[in-house]
Amino acid sequence: MANPCKYYIGKKEYTEDEFKKYLAEGGLDKFIEEGFDISKINIGKEVAPVSGIKNVISEQTRTKLGLPSLTIPRLGEKTTNLLEGKRLVDSGEISPEQVVDRILNTSDKGTNKQEAQVMQYYTRQLNTARTEVIDGLANQDLTATERLDLLGKLGQYGDRLDEVTEANILSGGDWGEVGNIRQEVYDEGYNPVKDKASIREIYGGKIPDEIKVEINKAFKERDEALIELARREEIIRQQEAQLKIQEVAKQKVGEKVDHKKIRTDLLAELKEAKDEHLKDLKDKGIQQMGGVNGIVLTPKMIKIIGKIGADYVKEGYENLEDVINKVYNDVKGFIPNIDKKDIRDSLILHESSRIEETASKLEKQAEKYEKEGIPTKKSSTRLKEKFEADNEWVRSRKKLSNAQSKIQKIKSVAYNSKKSNYEKGLLWVTKAFRAGVLSSYGVVVKLASAIFTGGIIKRIPEQAIGSVYSKIYKGIAEKAPIEGFVYGKSEVKFAEEFFNPKKLAKNTYQILKEGQSDLSKRVGDMVHEDLADITMPGEQRTKLNKALKAGLKVTDMILSLPGNSHMMIKDPLKRATYYASYENAMVWAEKNGLDINDPLVINTMENAAYKRANYEIFLEDNALNKKFKAFKRELDESGKAGATLKAFVDFVIPVSTVPTNIVRRVFSTSPFGLAKGIYEAEVAKKAIKKSIDNLETEQADAIMRQLKQGTLGTALWMLGWFGYASFGGLYSKFDPNKKREEGDLLSDEMEVNGVKIPKPVQHAVPLEVLQMAATARRIYENYVDNKGVSNITSLTAAAAGSIGAMMEQIPVISTPILLAESIQDPSKFEKLKEDFATRVEPRIFQQLGIVGDSEVEKFIKKNSSADNIYKNQLKAFDKRGKPKEVSNELFFNYREEIAKEESKRLKYMYDNGAVASNGQLKPFSELTADEKAAEVTRLKRKSTEKVQEELLGKKRKTIPEIILNSKLQKSRNLFEKKYLKEAK
């Protein structure tokens, strides 16, 4: 049997034999030599018709606007599934009802791919039918019987959808393969049947009455919003049609015209147009996309119907309903599935030159863009229908997303419903601890710094670098929707969103009130966990219970405040990144011939942009975090003991995602990141050249992002490495502070132009990168200078030390280490105990001095270095001054003594002050920051010297060492003398 695959080079089609011949004759080499884009070659798969940029206006919109039809746009595998599903149903090969019944009522839950395709198509049919009912309900002229009938249908479709969804969930595998997209794609109005099925499943098949009330309420709200949306659309369309009649009526001429003949001719023309359309479809061998609606009216047909309607107006019919009825009676004979709304809409479009003009203009711009690759301001502007500007319509749209959010919340309540009171109590405790930790204003400053410095300042060079890489790795850039190319308008959008005070105020209020912004509600998947609802689900009946629940709600709100305040800070960057990414993605979509009015495309791009926005605020999922979350989920699902353990884990590691991602970002913003980016890009580039790539858009985006970050990171690394004198680096036992010379910066210090950068601010990724590079350099210098080891050993120590220093910032890693260490090491145990004790008292209270340590205790804790002493750093000597082994006992003893000594001296300094730089004794409060730092360093050095000598002994200087030192000193003196002389 011949290979059915077609081969395409550019737009030219080859059979297998022809393609082989082409290759044998060196055609492919010639193709490459001539510089043609090799990615245009499609081998072994059916070509995606290149519909090009003209699809900036969707087929449906084009039809409405009277523009000529185009080839079926490339809609990918999803549409193929749908079309295949339709074929299978229409041909009677598979009955969807039977598949659903089998899955629900027998033990055979599996489906093959064909059945899954059928299910997908069937769900779409049901959804469309349901949407039609909603549209019907929007009609204000319905009689009570008609309304009841439609409401009944709405319920029936809803139930059937519930069944199909449940079957889809139960059938597993293929649901994931072909079904997942359905909810997002075909359900514009958000149909939460999947959630409803999940809720029922969680409750073991029977939803409790009070929850049922809540669900029904939410569903009702959703339906009302949908009906209201449809109603507003109807009203506005009706108004448009009315205006059109008035407009046409003005064109009436006095002379006598044979209207009947005109209409007979037009009807003949219409019939011809319909036949032509059907023939065209048959020739192309494609199924009509109208699905359950039957055929779609072509632009030509719409124009003719509009003309027939206009002719009735000219004849004297000025009542809209009359005109529609007349036309309907004329055409229904040969277009059976046409309805009166189609006729009205055709009338609206009659001679609508302005809309046609706009559409043509957009097409021209798009064509120019396709040719020149330069986006125009309007090229990715979606055509908006009139009703989209209607205030009531917008309000209803918001109601819809609120209903969606409510249903999500019910799901969360359902999930937690099986929890015992003890487990629910644990949820409150965990939330309270977490709130306590998040309430630190240090964390807030850290976040704000990461957002502003990391988000804004970093974006400018990163995008500039990106535009260079777009040229180097054009093939990859073309596949990357968000990171591929840099567009001015996206950057403008970014700035507009970021610096929009109105939106900032609005979102701040909304996040405070509801825990998430409109954007998160609409696109995000994070469910706001309402503890009050989880504790007391459903609507409360007695007054006491109502009051109790209100109290819980207030408590929950207060406990959510710290977390919400973080969200508020992150919101501008998240929003700005989202909109800028969305702009980029839409430009990419139209460049790739996707229909940017298609809900599938919009939804996909929205999701990609939202993911990118989350990445920017360090909320993306990473492997470590995923495992950590899965581990917690497992605990949570394993009864009381598991829940207790989970609460403990949450207590120990209250935040995991953001710190882990910040560290990941620091690594990707570095020469390692660049190396990774270039390696991946080269692999992908080669694959693209050979046309064997299966580079996903997401991967292409990741590569481009990695290249940008890596390059910027390399520059920052160079700055940190060479300018390490201005950066103290992160704390590392490979280069401890006590080994640094006086006047040198300590770890976690940073100085730019003489100004010290506060530690929380240093948490912005670019500054962290600088610090990490400085850490590596400092360790390297320490090893070369002080330990006299080789360059390779020093570099190894630098790499290990800087990575280790960074790792200590990841709670998921560092806390378990501390836990393990505390078993053996009493001082670590003390530290852990202290750490846990502070968790119980909210940070903000500690910082405000309401609870926790006194000022002097804070000062001592902040400056004490005992915890940063490691056993392998210590050197002990016997009484003859010869090295001896450091036992564990000696080590712990030493650390304890250091802590005591330091604390004694630091307290003395706090109480009595210190000698300032002018040689005068000053009270502590009058010392400058530099004077304090210098004195603290001196005190710590003295403490170390004392304890070291007492406990660790001293290395005796041998005679050769004494002589050598003396000679070195002599040379130094001579050099200084000479230098001073020359300087004079």
Partner 1 sequence: MLKSLLSKDMKEGLNDAVQVELQQSSLWKSLANQMQRLGYFGSQKYFLAESAEELTHYQMHVEFMNDMGDCADLPKIDAVNDKVKTIGDALEIGYEIELDVYNQYKEFYEKAEDEDVVVAQYLLQFLEIQRKAVGHYGDLLAKYKVAEETKEILEFDQHINDL
Q: 93 vs 961, which CB is nearer to partner 1? A: 961
Tell the smallest beta-carbon distance from residue 886 to partner 1 (Å).
20
Cβ neighbours of 77 (radius 10 Å)? 10
CB-CB contact of 55 with 73 (8 Å) = yes
Tracing tokens 């002389």 back to the chain, one arrives at: 981
CA distance 149 to 393: 25
Tell the smallest beta-carbon distance from residue 682 to partner 1 (Å).
60
Number of amino acids touching partner 1 (CB under 8 A) = 15
* Distance set, CA 704 to CA 481, 605, 707 (Å): 10, 17, 5
Quote the least distance from Cβ 983 to partner 1, whole Å.
25
Give the interface segment with partner 1, choosing from 611-619, 717-725, 810-818, 874-882 (CB under 8 A). 874-882
* CA within 13 Å, CB half, 29: 5
Please report which residue ranges of 373-500 form alpha helices under DSSP H: 391-416, 421-438, 441-451, 458-472, 474-479, 488-498
DSSP 884: E
Minimum CB distance to partner 1 smaller for 733 or for 946 = 946
Closest to partner 1 by CB, 74 or 954: 954
Return the number of the residue (743 or 960) whose C-beta is nearest partner 1: 960
- Interface residue with partner 1, options 879, 919, 920, 929 (CB under 8 A): 879
Least distance in angstroms from the C-beta of 625 to partner 1: 53
Segment contacting partner 1 by CB under 8 A, of 240-248, 385-393, 725-733, 876-884: 876-884
**176 CB-side CA count, 13 A:** 4
Is the CB of 98 or the CB of 958 nearer to partner 1?
A: 958
* Residue placing its CB nearer to partner 1 in the complex, 550 or 964: 964
Piece in contact with partner 1 (CB under 8 A), picked from 517-525, 866-874, 878-886, 925-933 = 878-886
| Chain-centre distance for alpha carbon 172 | 26
At closest approach, how far in Å is the CB of 962 from partner 1?
6
Give the nearer residue to partner 1 in terms of CB position, either 374 or 959.
959
Nearest to 703 by CA among 683, 687, 688: 683
Nearest-approach distance from CB 975 to partner 1, in angstroms: 16
Spatial CA neighbour of 428 closest among 610, 114, 154, 650: 650
Q: Provide the β-strand partners of residue 751.
A: 756
Query: Is the Cβ–Cβ distance between 884 and 876 less than 8 Å?
Result: yes
Please name every residue paired with 883 in a beta bridge, in sequence order, or none if there are none.
877
Using the structure block, give the residue that is written with the tokens 């549409």: 79
Q: Of 923-982, which residues contact partner 1 (CB under 8 A)? A: 949, 954, 956-960, 962-963, 965-966, 969
CB of 440 to partner 1, least distance (A): 45
**Choices 221-229, 337-345, 683-691, 875-883 (CB under 8 A): range interacting with partner 1:** 875-883
DSSP conformational letter for 420 = -
3-state SS, one letter per residue, for 782-844? HHHHHCCCCHHHHHHHHHHHHHHHHHCCCHHHHHHHHHHHHHHCHHHHHHHHHHHHHHHCCHH
Contact (CB, 8 A) for 752 and 759: no
Instruction: Give me the residue label for tokens 């850039």.
Output: 477
In the complex, the smallest distance separating the C-beta of residue 945 from partner 1, rounded to whole angstroms, is 10
Nearer to partner 1, 882 or 904 (CB): 882
Residue among 553 and 954 whose Cβ is closer to partner 1: 954
883-884 and 876-877 beta bridge pairing: antiparallel
- Shortest CB 969 distance to partner 1, Å: 7
Q: Closest approach of Cβ 426 to partner 1, in Å?
A: 58
Q: Are 463 and 775 in contact (CB under 8 A)?
A: no
Could you tell me the smallest distance in angstroms from the CB atom of residue 907 to partner 1? 27
Of 630 and 962, the one with the shorter C-beta distance to partner 1 is 962
CB–CB of 936/906 below 8 Å?
A: yes
Q: Which of 11, 354, 543, 880 binds partner 1 (CB under 8 A)?
A: 880
Strands 921-922 and 914-915: antiparallel
Selected range binding partner 1 among 333-341, 460-468, 538-546, 877-885, rule: CB under 8 A: 877-885
Helix (H, G, I), strand (E, B) or coil at 8: strand
Site mask for partner 1 (CB under 8 A), range 798-817, x = bound: --------------------
Choose between 378 and 955: whose C-beta lies nearer to partner 1: 955
Nearer to partner 1, 52 or 953 (CB): 953
Q: How far is the CB of 875 from partner 1 (least distance, A)?
A: 16
Q: Which stretch binds partner 1 (CB under 8 A): 165-173, 281-289, 704-712, 879-887?
A: 879-887
Interface with partner 1 (CB under 8 A)? 879-881, 949, 954, 956-960, 962-963, 965-966, 969
